[in-house]
Each structure stands twice: as structure tokens, then as C-alpha cells.
Chain A
Amino acid sequence: MIAVGDPSRAARFPWEEGVFWLVLAAGFWLWPKHLALAGHVLIAGLFALSYDLILGYAGILSLGHAAYFGLGAYTAGLLAQHGWGEPLSGLLAAGCCAALAGFLTSFLVVRGQDLTRLMVTTAIGLLLFELANRLSSVTGGVDGLLGIEMAPLLGAFRFDIYGRTAYGYCLAVTFVLFLCVRRLVRSPFGWSLRGMRDNPGRMLALGYPVPHRLIAVYSVSAAIAGIAGALLAQTTQFVSIDVFSFNRSAEVMVMLIVGGAGVLYGGLVGAAVFTLAYHYLSSLNPVYWQFWLGAFLIAIVLFGRGGVLGACVRISRMWRERRREPAAQP
């Protein structure tokens, strides 16, 4: 039994995690020509992290998480378009806006079971897509939101064409939010979420306010998704109506499953694998990409429980056991 909510354990930062983030920080020198792509990976990873909170930890099945991503993107985009180009306050506004939307819609979501949740979240996503589509005078409709002018980050770093500032910005925001989520899921609150995922009835019987906690985590997750959307809007200086699309909701689910749900790094790893595979396969042929994506999904549910990280854990466990065996024999 792991000590639940033990602060010394929660605060510990193992060296593997340090290496992970140092490699990302070294990205400026490791992949200087692909910083824009790497920034997209980080944004997708942050989005997947937010989705991990509700799916991996709280067990809420959703196919409409792009709603909050899109809300954040449009909030930041519209603010910048109307002259408020300061990035950090735009980010904050987007997070608040998405959190509010997440809070309001969470009452609809937490009521039902898997199927009802799936359909309600899908409908919320499609509703917002339609809304953005119909309010084309504000959102630009299918043409997208143009004319976003960003002020320099912290008044010093301009968003350059090579994406250096954008990459550093995405990395810093992702890292900070990652630490917050890491702290959250290792708190008693986070452990109670896992309990609700595995056995909501028992948690209710134990006296946990299940709906309240689900509403709370859903709002937090929406806020992070909104910030991820805002990062996309600010770094690309464009918002396409695509941010609300059903595909984006499905893709974030795929990323998380590819990486591994319910383990913090799953979303980031999944986003990297997914985005790189997308760039490679869709450059061959966009149609093939969708075919292989589908085949890959089926293969994962058939054979690869736990995604990439789950496979890593299994391999490392096998390796450790093999190392232990020869030591035990003599």
C-alpha cells in the first residue's frame, strides 16, 4: 500500500522525470529546425494531460473535450484580435473562460453513466462547433480567426518565425501546469478520484461527495484544455474552426490511449508519438494516415493495454526479473 497523500512522496522528483524535462528544454539545440512542430507536440501533450485528468483518473468518458480547447483558443484569439495582445493575461483569461464553461457543463456530464456522458459531451462539442460556425461575424466561421497580433512575451521576447519563443513559452506553461496536475493527482483528492473511477458506489457509501469532486476535476481539466487551446492560438496566431471538431476530441482520446491513461506522462508521450506518426504517415498520403490510425487503435485495444508507457513498464519489469534470475542461481 502506497502512503496516500504522503507529502514527502508527492514532493519527490525522481531523476527520470528530471531527464525527461531536461531533454525537452535541450530541444532548442537538439531539434532547432523542428521547434514549431515540437511546440505543437507540447500543446497536444498539455491537452492530453487535461483529458487524462477526467478519463484516466476520474473515469469520465468524453468525446467532446475539444469544446474547452476551442473555447480557450477563441478566447485568446479574440482578445488578441481586439488589441489585447499580452500573452500571459490572455492565457489566464482563456483558462478562466474554459473553466467556467467546464463548470457549467459538468452538471450535465456527471449525472449520467458512460453512454449518456459520451453522448452529452459529444453534443456539447458539436454545439460549440455549430455556434462558432454560425457566429462567423465574430469567429470568422470556416475561414478561421485572422489578424491575431501578439505582444512580446514578458515584454521582451518577440514571437519569432523559427518558433523559438513559442517553444520556450509552450514548454514553460506545460511544465508549470504539469507540476500542478502532478501535485493534484498525488493529493488525497487525486486518490479519491481513482476510487470513484474504480468503484463510484463504494466511494459514495464511504461518504465521499462523488458528484462534487467530479465537477471539480472536470472544471480543472477544462481550464487546462482551454490554456492548451490558447497556447495554440497565440503561437500560431490563427484559430481555425477545427479546434472544435469532433476529430480533435477523438484524437486527444487516441493520444492518451497511445501514451497510457492514468499515468501522468501518458498524454505527453502519446502526443509525441501521435504527432510524429501523423507527420510521417500523412506526408505519404492523408488517407493512409486515417487507415493506419484506425488499425493502430484496434491493435492497441486488442493487445497493448496501457499504451507506450504501459509497454515500457512491462518491458522494464521483465528486464529486471531476468537480471535478478542469474544473480539468484549461483
Chain B
Amino acid sequence: MRATWGGCEPVPAASGTSMIASLLGVLFDGLAYGMLLFLISVGLSVTLGLMNFVNLAHGAFGMLGGYLCALAMARWNVPFLAALPAAFAAAALAGLLLERLLYRRFYRRSHLDQVLLTIGLTFMSIAAATFLFGPQQQALRLPESLSGQFNALGVDLNTYRMFLLAVGLVLTAALTLVLERTRFGAAVRAAVDNPRVAEALGIRVGLVFQIAFAAGCGLAGLGGALGVEVLGLDPVFPLKYMVYFLLVVAVGGTSTLKGPLYAALLLGVADVAGKYYIPQVGAFIIYAMMVILLIVRPQGLVSRS
């Protein structure tokens, strides 16, 4: 397997000729791309950020969602909008199973063991995907209503990317509500702040983490399914985007949902703009940005207290 480290090669949707139009187009594409990164990475911010578990296999759940969606649409003619919840459910279920079988035993182990476990899982998922679906890129046929372009304020915008932004905003709002307004959200926050005291107060920390982990994997699956059109989907997906997911969490910090969201949007815009305006430099910008940000702000952009 040879992973190409170019990341995605987004085709800017803007076809306007003026400078402003192309700028807006890049911004728009970058935001949609960043929203996808956020959806996939938000689950990682639970495992990596909150539970301090180095999970390099997170992208594999995204890939699972993507393949399930592509397969359901191509083989069983499931409509796209119905395949999305299925992708969420499948990835969440897989996450739940793996958490019970493997991850749980590693919460207290060293980071090295966690890295080895999750790299092993990543390799297995890549091999399994190659074996089942072949090494080629998977294509997805979007429904008519979501494909094509529409014109807003004199700029041609891609309908699907608009849809991505809308879905992302709705899900972010829902997540914020769950975490900040519900009893479960309070339990998650308590379990993260101080697991021992939370346990003493009667919160079943293990169960809370399990549900949070599964939900995070489900969101990754949903993001993977939504992202087939933008990120592409092939067996090396988990490795190809691993750095991006890690970066979102590391830069975003973990105290709020806002941190990873801003980080993902920033990353998305920077990546698309870099590839559009200075294609010679390629993925260089992202990696350089990563090193600099990690050195300057090791606690993340929006740090805890």
C-alpha cells in the first residue's frame, strides 16, 4: 500500500472569473471541507482529548460509513438520505463492539500500546477494505436535488457543499445542546473533569464513555458517508486523513465543541486555499502549520480555562 499524502484534491466549485468570486468560492469550499473534517473528528476529540486515548484508527470508522453508504446505494438502491443514518448506525455499532472488545482494556495502558493497537486496527481495516472492495476510488451518485450548482449573490455555489454546511451546522447545534443542556451531557462533562468523583456520585463513567465513544464513531461514519463526494473514498482513507483528524483535535483543544469546530474550519479553508492558489507547495502548508501550531500552542487554540 502506498498512501499518497496529498490529502484531497478539491475542485473549487466557483466558476466565476473575478478575483472576488474565486476567493468566495475557495472560502465556501474550504468551509464545507472543514465542516466534514469537524464531523469526522469530533468523535476523536472525545477519545483523544477527553479520555486521553491515542486513537489512530478513528478514520477507519469514517471509512466504514463511507463504504456502507456507497454499497447500499449501488447494490440495494437505497436513497442517499436513507443511507446516511445507516452509515451512522453501522459505524456506531462497530465502535461499540470494538470498545467492549479491545479499547476498554487499553484505557490505562501506555500511549505506546494504544498507538500499536490502533495502528494495527488501521492496517487491518485497510487490508479488509482492499480485499472486499478493491483498491480503486468509490464513486457515489448524488440525488438530483443535491447535485449541480445554484447562484447566490452572483457566485455559483455547489449545492452539495451547501448541504454539507447545513448538515454540519445542525449537528453542531444538536451536539452543543446535548452536551450543555441534557443530563447525559452533564454526566459526560463530569466524567471527564474527574472520573473518580463522578463515579462516587453515581455516574456510571464506563457506560458514559462507551456511549460517547460509540456516538463519536457514528459521527465519523456519517462524516465518511457525507465525504465520499469531497474527500474521496479508497482503502487508504484512514491513513490519508489521519493527520487531519489529529490536527483538528490537537489544535482545537477539547474544552468545548467550539475549539475543534474553529480548528476544522480553519484547516479546511487553509488546505483548499493552499491547493488552489499555490498548488506547487501542495500539502506542505498543512504539515508546516501543524508543527508551528503545536509548538506555539501545545494546549490548543481554545485552551481549557
Contact = CB atoms under 8 A, between A and B. Distances in A.
B298 A111 contact: yes
Interface residues of A, number: 45
Interface in B276-293: 280-284, 287-288, 290-291
A228 interface: no
Interface in A273-325: 286-291, 293-298, 300-302
Contact of A288 (B48, B115, B119, B127): B127
A134 B126 contact: no
B5 A253 contact: no
A95 to B, nearest CB: 24
Nearest to B123: A294
Given A291-B124, A294-B124, A247 B291 contact: no
B130 interface: yes
A116 B280 contact: no
B116 A253 contact: yes
B295 interface: yes
Contacts of B199: none
Contact of A301 (B1, B3, B117): B117
A246 B280 contact: no
B100 interface: no
A130 B120 contact: no
B123 A293 contact: yes
Interface string B112-142: 1101110111111111101100000000000
A153 interface: no
A108 B295 contact: yes
B111 interface: yes
Interface string B1-37: 1110100000000000000000000000000000000
Given A108-B294, A288-B127, A294-B123, 12 more contacts: A63-B115, A119-B246, A119-B247, A129-B5, A134-B284, A246-B5, A287-B127, A291-B124, A291-B131, A298-B102, A298-B117, A298-B121
27 contacts: A108-B294, A114-B54, A115-B250, A116-B294, A116-B298, A118-B115, A119-B243, A123-B287, A123-B288, A124-B291, A126-B5, A134-B281, A134-B284, A247-B3, A287-B130, A287-B131, A289-B127, A290-B124, A290-B126, A290-B127, A291-B131, A293-B120, A294-B120, A294-B121, A294-B122, A295-B120, A302-B102
Interface of B: 1-3, 5, 48, 54, 102, 105-106, 109, 111-113, 115-117, 119-128, 130-131, 239, 243, 246-247, 250, 280-284, 287-288, 290-291, 294-295, 298
**6 closest A-B pairs by CB:** A297-B120, A294-B123, A294-B124, A291-B127, A290-B127, A114-B111
Interface of A: 55, 61, 63, 108, 111-112, 114-116, 118-120, 122-124, 126-127, 129-131, 133-134, 242, 245-247, 250, 253-254, 257, 286-291, 293-298, 300-302
